[in-house]
């Protein structure tokens, strides 16, 4: 070890310096304890700028390219925003079709995360041999039949999106006033069949989540460990009964104690949310405007709030469908009450939400009203400004467009889910690292333990984490203040 009086820098670069869209730098103080940690996003594309001058009806087809892993939420929020720009109400069948598309997207995303990404840590084990700690290891543990079920149902949720939007990735069905094409009876029947199968698959997933997350002593201890807990505000979209709604509703924010702090219409988000800029990341840091930006701190005095699965459940009073609500109650029992601040419990909350999406999908797909031919309202109002929002798998997503009187875009504001968790991810990494590095002693397992802290947020930075076999190569490089290499940890 070098001179301990020197400052030490630890850089964790997911998929190394060259490939990552994000990297982590951990800085130690003179005593060898964590002083600061930074989760850095290393790229910017600038949709807010180059969408200016485009016809607003094209926006739902352009903004999908913000993210190819979650194009569904961008397409849907954008569809709602262009409706708002033209102040047009869409026909009931169009709304149903959009919601079916959207629920299928939620299922696709949550299935991929739970099985491919988070699964290895909990099914195979956080300290298992890295060569088995991946989706292949999950399949080995659970059996090839389960693996096939995962692939099949991920495929089903993609297929539903493809039927409605033409393509599963970067779908094109939404335009001002509705959707491009009615649903045929044949397609409705196909969707209903897949939805019922997805529901059964989600029932299985709940029992698996119970086994590996709640009934497994080691994993439960890990989830309930203070290393992975933060007392923050939580936000999510709810219906009039305060039940989670992915597609539409009111944004509800609760305090770290779980009391309602504010509820607002998504169109009023600018009164409640602001964004802070740091020079060391291309991604901004949204916060609750009326609490204020108080740096990377938690608690009631800090405007940092969290979104995504557990945050949504914390911000709601339950779910509108029976099996999901039952799972929700079981989850909070296991977590010791509500709100729950345990970041790793985002994983269980995701399974609760999968169940809700499947139940709701079965309801909608079975409703023959969805077959109505009337799926378009021709806009007649002069376009001006509009906000559209949805609960993306990773949290609330806002699209806000301003146009001239011809509907040409003049200004764009996008508030994405992973952005809202940008501050919290910085907190989580600092805390996990702080507990794992003491007096220059870098504990074994640091890489994966730190990775778990931010992977629970399912960060979507071109989604570095969404791939078979689902593990990011990580490298920790420790330098002294003179930039001499001190130590390299690789996995």
Q: How many residues belong to the site for other proteins (CB under 8 A)?
A: 101
CB of 167 vs other proteins, minimal distance in Å: 5
Identify whether the C-beta of residue 273 lies closer than 8 Å to the C-beta of residue 414.
Answer: no
Q: Which two tokens stand for residue 468?
A: 């078979």
- 122 touching other proteins, by CB under 8 A: no
Q: Which of residues 171-190 bind other proteins (CB under 8 A)?
A: 172-173, 175-177, 180-181
- Is-contact 12 433, C-beta < 8 A? no
Q: Which of residues 311-350 bind other proteins (CB under 8 A)?
A: none
Site for other proteins in 411-450 (CB under 8 A): 411-413, 415
Per CB under 8 A, contacts with other proteins among 352-411 are: 376, 378-379, 400, 406-408, 411
119/177 with CB nearer other proteins = 177
Q: Which residues contact 359 (CB under 8 A, 6 or more apart)?
A: 199, 321, 322, 323, 324
Say how far apart CA 155 and CA 166 lie, in whole Å. 15
| Closer to other proteins by Cβ: residue 224 or 467 | 467
Instruction: Please give the Cα distance from 237 to 290 (Å, whole number).
Output: 19
Helix, strand or coil for residue 274?
A: strand
**Strand ranges in 300-370 using DSSP code E only, listed in sequence order:** 305-306
Least CB distance to other proteins at residue 31 (A): 15
- Does 465 contact other proteins by CB under 8 A? yes
In terms of CB distance, is 36 or 216 closer to other proteins?
36
CB-CB contact of 411 with 217 (8 Å): no
- Kindly list the distances between the CA atom of residue 267 and the CA atoms of 74, 143, 177, 393, 447, in Å, as whole numbers in the listed order: 16, 47, 18, 20, 41
At closest approach, how far in Å is the CB of 88 from other proteins? Answer: 9
Q: Which of 12, 34, 67, 291 binds other proteins (CB under 8 A)?
A: 67
Q: Look up residue 216 and give its two tokens.
A: 């497994």
State the Rg of the chain over Cα: 22
Distance between CA atoms of residues 342 and 336, nearest Å: 10
Residue 37 burial (CB count, 10 A) = 26
Adjacent-strand bridge partners of 10:
26, 478
Q: Taking CB under 8 A as the criterion, which residues in 214-273 touch other proteins?
A: 269-270, 273
Q: Which is nearer to other proteins, 173 or 358 (CB)?
A: 173
Restricted to residues 18-57, the positions that interact with other proteins (CB under 8 A) are 18-19, 25, 27, 35-36, 38, 40, 42-46, 48-55, 57
Subset of residues 154 to 173 that bind other proteins, contact rule: CB under 8 A: 154-155, 158, 164-170, 172-173
Alpha carbon distances (Å) from 272 to 289, 317, 326, 397: 5, 21, 32, 14
Tokens describing residue 356: 């809700």
Backbone angles phi, psi at 287, to 5 degrees: -155, 165
- Of 194, 254, 355, 463, the residue at the interface with other proteins (CB under 8 A) is 463
Question: Of residues 146, 462, 486, 489, which one binds other proteins by CB under 8 A?
Answer: 462
Identity of the residue, 148 or 218, whose beta carbon is nearer to other proteins in the bound complex: 148
Interacting residue with other proteins among 6, 32, 33, 58 (CB under 8 A)? 58
Beta carbon nearer to other proteins, 137 or 339: 137
Nearer to other proteins, 284 or 325 (CB): 284
Binding residue for other proteins (CB under 8 A) from 213, 392, 471, 477? Answer: 471
Stretch that binds other proteins, among 150-158, 205-213, 242-250, 340-348 (CB under 8 A): 150-158
DSSP one-letter string for 339-378: S--BGGGHHHHHHHHHHHHHHHHHHHHT-GGGG-S--B--
**Cβ closest to other proteins, residue 51 vs residue 81:** 51
Q: Rounded to 5 degrees, what are φ and ψ at 457? A: -80, -10
Of 234 and 296, which has the nearer Cβ to other proteins? 296
The reply on whether position 196 binds other proteins by CB under 8 A is: no
């Amino acid at each position: 070890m070098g001179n301990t009086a020197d400052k030490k820098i630890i850089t964790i670069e997911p998929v190394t310096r060259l490939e990552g869209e994000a990297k982590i730098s951990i800085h130690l103080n003179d005593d060898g304890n964590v002083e600061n940690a930074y989760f850095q996003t290393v790229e910017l594309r600038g949709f807010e700028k180059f969408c200016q001058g485009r016809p607003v009806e094209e926006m739902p087809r352009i903004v999908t390219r913000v993210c190819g892993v979650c194009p569904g939420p961008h397409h849907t929020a954008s569809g709602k925003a262009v409706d708002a720009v033209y102040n047009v109400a869409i026909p009931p069948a169009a709304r149903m079709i959009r919601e079916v598309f959207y629920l299928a997207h939620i299922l696709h995303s949550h299935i991929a995360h739970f099985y491919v990404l988070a699964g290895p840590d909990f099914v195979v084990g956080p300290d298992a041999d890295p060569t088995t700690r991946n989706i292949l290891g999950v399949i080995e543990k659970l059996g090839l039949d389960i693996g096939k079920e995962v692939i099949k149902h991920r495929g089903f949720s993609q297929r539903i999106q493809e039927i409605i939007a033409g393509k599963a990735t970067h779908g094109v069905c939404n335009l001002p006033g509705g959707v491009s094409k009615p649903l045929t009876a044949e397609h409705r029947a196909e969707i209903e069949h897949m939805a019922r199968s997805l529901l059964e698959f989600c029932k299985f997933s709940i029992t698996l989540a119970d086994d590996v997350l709640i009934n497994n002593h080691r994993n439960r201890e890990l989830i309930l460990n203070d290393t992975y807990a933060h007392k923050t505000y939580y936000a999510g979209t709810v219906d009039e009964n305060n039940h989670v709604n992915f597609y539409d509703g009111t944004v509800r924010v609760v305090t770290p104690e779980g009391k309602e702090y504010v509820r607002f219409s998504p169109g009023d988000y600018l009164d409640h949310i602001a964004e802070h800029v740091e020079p060391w990341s291309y991604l901004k840091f949204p916060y609750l405007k009326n609490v204020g930006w108080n740096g990377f701190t938690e608690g009631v005095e800090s405007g940092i709030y969290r979104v995504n699965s557990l945050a949504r459940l914390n911000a709601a009073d339950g779910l509108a469908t029976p099996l999901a609500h039952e799972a929700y109650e079981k989850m909070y029992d296991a977590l010791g009450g509500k709100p729950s601040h345990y970041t790793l419990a985002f994983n269980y909350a995701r399974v609760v939400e999968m169940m809700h999406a499947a139940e709701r999908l079965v309801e909608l797909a079975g409703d023959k009203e969805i077959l109505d031919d009337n799926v378009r309202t021709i806009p007649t109002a002069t376009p001006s400004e509009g906000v559209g929002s949805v609960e993306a798998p990773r949290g609330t997503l806002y699209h806000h467009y301003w146009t001239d009187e011809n509907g040409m875009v003049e200004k764009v504001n996008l508030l994405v889910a992973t952005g809202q968790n940008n501050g919290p991810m910085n907190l989580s990494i600092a805390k996990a690292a702080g507990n794992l590095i003491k007096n220059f002693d870098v504990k074994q397992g640091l890489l994966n333990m730190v990775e778990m802290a931010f992977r629970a947020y399912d960060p979507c930075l071109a989604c570095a984490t969404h791939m078979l076999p689902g593990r990011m190569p990580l490298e920790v490089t420790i330098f002294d203040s003179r930039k001499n290499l001190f130590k390299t940890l690789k996995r």
